[in-house]
Amino acid sequence: MRLVIARCTVDYQGRLAAHLASAVRLIMVKADGCVAIHADGGAYKPLNWMNAPNRIEEGADIWTVTNAKGETLTIVIEELLSDSSIEFGEDPGLVKDGVEAHLQELLAAQPATIVDGLELVRREFPTDIGPVDLLCRDDEGHMVAVEIKRRGEIDGVEQLTRYLDFLNRDPMLRPVSGIFVAQEIKPQARVLAQDRDIACVTVDYDELRGMESNELRLF
Amino acid sequence: MKFRCERDTLFEALSSASRAVSSRSGALAVLSGIKLTLEGDQLTIVGSDLDLTISVSVDVGGDEDGVTVLPSRLLVDIVRALGAGAITLESTDGDMRITAARSEFTVRSYPPDEYPALVEPPTEGISIPASSLTEALRQVVPAASKDDSRPILTGVLLATEGDALRLVATDSYRLSVRDVTESAVLGEDQTVLIPSRALTEVARLLDDEGEVTLGLTERDASFRIGTTTVVTRLIEGEFPNYRGLIPDHHPNRMTVNRLELLDAVRRVRLLAQETTPVRLTMSSDGLDLKAITQDVGEASETIDGIYDGEELTVAFNPEYLIDGTDAASGDEVVLETVDALKPALIRTPEEPGFLYLLMPVRVS
């Protein structure tokens, strides 16, 4: 990442023409070639930017950034105030809290929180149309397919229905029943699940993580 | 079918019945309609989503008996838009012509034979004074849960308590109980769980005068209010054992003016943002309310009160505290507490049949 702070003017020529008059600005040149011009205000949106891939021609006082469409960003540097480069390395990407994978991991470790007596057979149990989140066995020894979502909507019920169709073709497994698990299940999804004899269970993510809520409950 | 009716009468009846009409897409299409049945001079208007059915009968000038189902929202909008005076509705070959003064509308109808057969409410039932039920519903229904993931908590429990009819609702954070003494009661050990949504509609229809007749079957409950009947499916399942939740002894009692407390919480709540609780410090000096929201600010207020107990600070969700204080009637409320983590109780000396149990919020 190269960060240049300079008094400059910026002209964009492309689908339209835009001119930024002379002022102090931050010019960010990212490792992938993206160039963004920021003012000292606003949260994240640059005044002007050019997405990669770009070709950057850097003269003594003039930079010309040209993208694949031939659009150009011309930066005339009147006074250079700072110029530094830092190597960031590999970015691990955004990890969202409470993603399905974590829910799946937590429920695989404690399947009895879904239904009493449920035991895990396998996570990501493979079928011809994709893996079922959890394949479990209930206290009577019958197989149970569990589909886990953060938000339980009709699509999730449809997905579990397809898995159940395939799993019930296997004489070693059938009869396989289904449980649709989510932090929140939409009424329409609940109705569809009920119509297909699929049980619905809502789970509290914080509770599964062992986090104590400040909201005390009567029961 | 052909009849004439005053616009205001028809609009009021349609508005009531249409509240039960299904708004969900994908449901049986005809259920987005409102059913009109004319027999002589009696027009019966029915709206339903199969869980809740509202039926209203009105007197009209009938010319020709018949049955039709019309798009609910459109019909209500048309009748609302018409000026006061007489409206004529006449069906012709699957259409309904609506005329009033110099306005004329033609609306396609649904085939009436596609409209599902609905449950007939029982003719007999329990009589409840409308004024008592209105007040009890106002006090209890807001405590029912709005979260469909726990359907049992979205209902209001009706049960017999001594010689009274008891109404109970809880969303697991607070619990509201009200005994209606001036009414005939259910059978011994008989309990029913009625969806709070249906009771909200009942409350909307009630006047302060007259009586409501509550009819029960194995799966449904009906409320007859004058010429309007609300029929709802009962919620199946067992209501939590709430009796064990009510502490038998509260060592701390704070008595304050109800409206002063209500106003103070409403003011202080402005600085209790993003699920921040309001802290109540009770001492012989009175009741201090305080709310602090990080990076926003804080608010505090003191109100006079009579306190019997040890100095104690307890935090509550301000909305639930307002609901409980608002539900209590009378000039004074008594806030009974055990400690900062056990359920507190809001009562009012003027109404022994009401109590509101409220769970505190844990604060550091």
Lowest mean pLDDT among A2-6, A25-29, B242-246: B242-246
> If DSSP codes are grouped into helix, strand and coil, which group holds residue B195?
strand
Domains and CATH numbers, chain B: 2-114 (3.10.150.10), 129-242 (3.10.150.10), 246-358 (3.10.150.10)
Task: List CB contacts (< 8 A) between A190 and chain B.
Answer: 148
Interchain contact, A218 vs B362, CB within 8 Å: no
Query: What count of Cα atoms within 13 Å lies in the side-chain half-sphere of residue B141?
Result: 17
Picking from A153, A203, A215 by the largest number of B CB atoms within 10 A of its own CB, the best residue to mutate is: A215
- Residue A202: closest CA among chain B residues belongs to which residue? B149
Interchain contact, B26 vs A217, CB within 8 Å: no
Task: List CB contacts (< 8 A) between A214 and chain B.
Answer: 277, 361-363
Q: Which pLDDT score is estimated for A94?
A: 52
Q: Which two tokens stand for residue B224?
A: 């007859």
Sign of torsion, CA B178 B182 B186 B189? positive
Pairs from B280-285 (Cβ < 8 Å, separation ≥ 24): B280/B313, B280/B314, B280/B315, B280/B316, B280/B335, B281/B311, B281/B312, B281/B313, B282/B252, B282/B254, B282/B307, B282/B309, B282/B311, B282/B312, B282/B313, B282/B314, B282/B335, B282/B337, B283/B307, B283/B311, B284/B311
**Percentage of chain B modeled with pLDDT above 70:** 98
- Asked if residue A204 has pLDDT above 90, the reply is no
Distance CA A119, CA A136 (A): 5
Strands B155-161, B164-170: pairing is antiparallel
Per CATH, is A98-218 categorized as 2.102.10.10? no
Distance CA B4, CA B88 (A): 4
Q: Which pLDDT score is estimated for A33?
A: 87
Interchain contact, B149 vs A216, CB within 8 Å: no
- Asked if residue A96 has pLDDT above 70, the reply is no
The shares of helix, strand and coil residues in chain A, as percent rounded to the nearest 5, are 20, 45, 40
What Å distances lie between residue A205 and A175, A179, A201, A211, A213, CA to CA? 30, 17, 12, 9, 11
B interface toward A at CB cutoff 8 Å? Answer: 24, 26, 148-150, 170, 172-175, 240, 242, 245, 277, 317, 341, 343, 357, 359-363
Q: Which pLDDT score is estimated for B183?
A: 72
Task: List CB contacts (< 8 A) between A184 and chain B.
Answer: 149
Q: Is A195 on the interface with B (CB under 8 A)?
A: no
- Asked if residue B204 has pLDDT above 90, the reply is yes
Per CATH, is A2-85 categorized as 2.60.120.10? no
**Percentage of chain A modeled with pLDDT above 70:** 94
Average pLDDT over every residue of A166-172: 91
Q: Quick one: DSSP state of residue B40?
A: T
Enter the ipTM: 0.79
Interchain contact, B172 vs A217, CB within 8 Å: yes
pLDDT tens digit sequence for B9-66: 999 999 999 999 977 645 578 999 999 999 999 999 999 998 899 999 999 999 999 9
A162 contacts: CB under 8 Å, gap ≥ 6 = A129
pLDDT tens digit sequence for B149-177: 678 999 999 998 888 899 999 999 999 99
- Asked if residue B301 has pLDDT above 60, the reply is yes
Picking from B149, B150, B171 by the largest number of A CB atoms within 10 A of its own CB, the best residue to mutate is: B149
Measure CA B162 to chain center.
24
pLDDT tens digit sequence for B89-102: 999 888 999 999 99
Q: Which pLDDT score is estimated for B120?
A: 85
Task: Out of B172, B317, B363, name the one closest to residue A219 (CB).
Answer: B172
Q: Exposed/middle/buried for B286, CB within 10 Å: 0-12, 13-18, 19+?
A: middle
Q: Domains of chain A: which residue ranges?
A: 2-85, 98-218
Q: Where does the pLDDT of residue B80 fall: very low under 50, low under 70, confident under 90, or very high at 90 and above?
A: very high
Interchain contact, B362 vs A217, CB within 8 Å: no
A172 or B17, greater pLDDT: B17
User: What mean pLDDT is reported for chain A?
Assistant: 88
Residue B220 one-letter amino acid: D
What Å distances lie between residue B9 and A71, B41, B66, B107, CA to CA? 68, 14, 19, 20
Q: Is A41 on the interface with B (CB under 8 A)?
A: no
Q: Where does the pLDDT of residue A14 fall: very low under 50, low under 70, confident under 90, or very high at 90 and above?
A: confident
Q: Which pLDDT score is estimated for A210?
A: 67
Task: List CB contacts (< 8 A) between B31 and chain A.
Answer: none
Distance CA B165, CA B92 (A): 50
Interchain contact, B359 vs A184, CB within 8 Å: no
Distance CA B77, CA B98 (A): 12
Interchain contact, B341 vs A185, CB within 8 Å: no
pLDDT tens digit sequence for B5-15: 999 999 999 99
Distance CA A27, CA A49 (A): 9
Angle between helices A187-195 and A154-167 (to 10 degrees): 20
Length of chain A: 219
Task: List CB contacts (< 8 A) between A185 and chain B.
Answer: 148-149
- Residue B147: closest CA among chain A residues belongs to which residue? A184
- Asked if residue A97 has pLDDT above 80, the reply is no
Task: List CB contacts (< 8 A) between A202 and chain B.
Answer: 149-150
Of A109, A105, A134, A106, the closest CA to residue A121 belongs to A134
Task: Out of B148, B149, B362, name the one closest to residue A216 (CB).
Answer: B362
Distance CA B223, CA B125 (A): 9
Q: Which pLDDT score is estimated for B119?
A: 81
The reply to whether the predicted model has a pTM over 0.80 is no
Is B42 in contact with B59 (CB distance < 8 Å)?
Answer: yes
> If DSSP codes are grouped into helix, strand and coil, which group holds residue B159?
strand
Task: List CB contacts (< 8 A) between A218 and chain B.
Answer: 170, 172-175, 240, 242, 245, 343, 357, 359
- Asked if residue A206 has pLDDT above 80, the reply is no
Is B1 in contact with B67 (CB distance < 8 Å)?
Answer: yes
Angle between helices B130-140 and B196-205 (to 10 degrees): 140
Distance CA A54, CA A51 (A): 7
Burial B37-60 (b: 16+ CB within 10 A, else e): bbeeeebbbbbbbeebbbbbbbeb
Query: What count of Cα atoms within 13 Å lies in the side-chain half-sphere of residue B153?
Result: 19
pLDDT tens digit sequence for A26-67: 999 998 889 999 999 877 888 998 888 889 999 889 999 998
Task: List CB contacts (< 8 A) between B174 and chain A.
Answer: 218
Q: Where does the pLDDT of residue B270 fall: very low under 50, low under 70, confident under 90, or very high at 90 and above?
A: very high
Which residue, chain included where needed, has tokens 């000396």? B349
Smallest Cα distance from A216 to chain B, Å: 6
Q: Is A150 on the interface with B (CB under 8 A)?
A: no
Of B58, B48, B68, the closest CA to residue B117 belongs to B48
User: What mean pLDDT is reported for chain B?
Assistant: 92
Task: List CB contacts (< 8 A) between A187 and chain B.
Answer: 24, 148
Is A130 in contact with A158 (CB distance < 8 Å)?
Answer: no
- Asked if residue B214 has pLDDT above 50, the reply is yes
Interchain contact, A187 vs B343, CB within 8 Å: no
pLDDT tens digit sequence for B122-146: 888 888 999 999 999 999 999 999 8
Residue B68 one-letter amino acid: T
- Residue B150: closest CA among chain A residues belongs to which residue? A202
Containing B45, the helix (H) or strand (E) segment is strand B42-48
Of B135, B221, B235, the closest CA to residue B178 belongs to B135
Q: Work out the angle at residue A186's Cα, subtended by the Cα atoms of residues A183 and A190, and round it to the nearest 5 degrees.
A: 100
